[in-house]
């Protein structure tokens, strides 16, 4: 059973003391493909280091995270563009809009999101969307940029059934992780109405650990708990969930 974690911050300082052990636990659990999102330029060397250590298993994205958008946005976007021109990445991400923590730089967030979507089109790459308390704003930008060249993953999807359908209409897969296992997560109430062809798995490690680890540090091996939950929701086997979601990830990332 090969499982793909489409979103994991495995370079996080929270893994500084046991990164290799954490990676081995993932491999032992069947997680063979881990896609790693960018945050900003200060994290890039850590990303490159873990890619060098696990070149057959770790695949990098490049982008500017919305919570790291500020008055320095042009410099950060210039860095993103220079790295895209310099080497291979598998997606632009994570990008989007976050209004949970701070609304100060909303216009800059919209600008950065749109600019990076345009870079994704230029390089024929998928996007990986971060959306928190900002569905209307994210959909506004997606609508403006909608085209056959726009595709990707709506990371950590936590919206309603109607919002799920709208995300899918923009050629996005839904990134499903630990929230699906939460009693108050709500997406478990409608998820099986969404065809599995639109679903990919993720952890968002070290955040959002699934039950029974909720509240603790998350890691890629815990995605098996999400697999089990989806098998229950879709009344199928864990092997089937792993196979379909990995195939979906291949369709997005091209590998």
115-146 pLDDT, tens digit per residue, is: 999 999 999 999 999 999 999 999 999 999 99
Cβ atoms of 52 and 44 within 8 Å: the answer is no
pLDDT at 252: 98
Q: What pLDDT score does 101 carry?
A: 86
Ordered mean pLDDT values, 10 residues apiece, the chain (255 residues): 97 97 98 98 98 98 97 97 98 97 94 98 98 98 97 97 98 98 94 98 98 97 98 98 98 96
Q: Name the pTM for this structure.
A: 0.97
Count: domains in the chain: 1
pLDDT in tens, 197-233: 999 999 999 999 999 999 999 999 999 999 999 999 9
Q: What is the pLDDT of residue 89?
A: 98
Residues forming beta bridges with residue 33, ordered by sequence position: 4
**Whole-angstrom distance between the N-terminal and C-terminal Cα of the chain?**
17
CB-based contacts of 254, cutoff 8 Å, min separation 6 = 90
CATH, residue 18: 3.20.20.140
Task: Quote the CA–CA distance of 208 and 211 in Å, as a whole number.
Answer: 9
Res 246: pLDDT: 98
Beta strands in the chain (DSSP E): 3-5, 31-36, 58-60, 92-98, 127-132, 152-154, 172-176, 199-201
- The DSSP bridge partners found for residue 96 are 130
Full domain range(s) for residue 170: 3-253
């Amino acid at each position: 059973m090969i499982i793909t974690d489409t979103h994991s911050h495995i370079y996080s300082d929270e893994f500084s003391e046991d990164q290799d052990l954490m990676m081995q636990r993932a491999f032992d659990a069947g997680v063979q493909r881990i896609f790693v999102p960018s945050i900003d330029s200060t994290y890039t060397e850590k990303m490159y280091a873990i890619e060098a250590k696990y070149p057959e298993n770790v695949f990098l994205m490049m982008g500017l995270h919305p919570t790291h958008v500020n008055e320095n946005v042009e410099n950060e976007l210039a860095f993103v563009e220079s790295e895209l021109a310099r080497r291979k990445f598998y997606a632009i991400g994570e990008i989007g809009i976050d209004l949970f923590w701070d609304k100060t730089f909303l216009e800059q967030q919209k600008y950065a999101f749109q600019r990076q979507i345009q870079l994704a089109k230029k390089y024929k790459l998928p996007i990986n969307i971060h959306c928190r308390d900002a569905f209307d704003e994210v959909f506004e930008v997606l609508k403006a940029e909608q085209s056959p060249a726009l595709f990707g993953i709506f990371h950590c999807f936590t919206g309603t059934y109607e919002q799920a359908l709208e995300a899918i209409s923009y050629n996005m897969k839904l990134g499903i992780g630990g929230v699906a296992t939460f009693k108050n997560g709500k997406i478990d109430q409608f998820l099986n109405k969404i065809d599995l062809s639109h679903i990919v798995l993720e952890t968002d490690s070290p955040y959002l650990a699934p039950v029974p680890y909720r509240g603790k540090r998350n890691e890629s091996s815990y995605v098996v708990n999400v697999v089990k939950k989806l098998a229950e929701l879709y009344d199928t086997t864990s092997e089937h969930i792993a196979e379909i979601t990995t195939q979906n990830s291949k369709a997005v990332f091209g590998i």
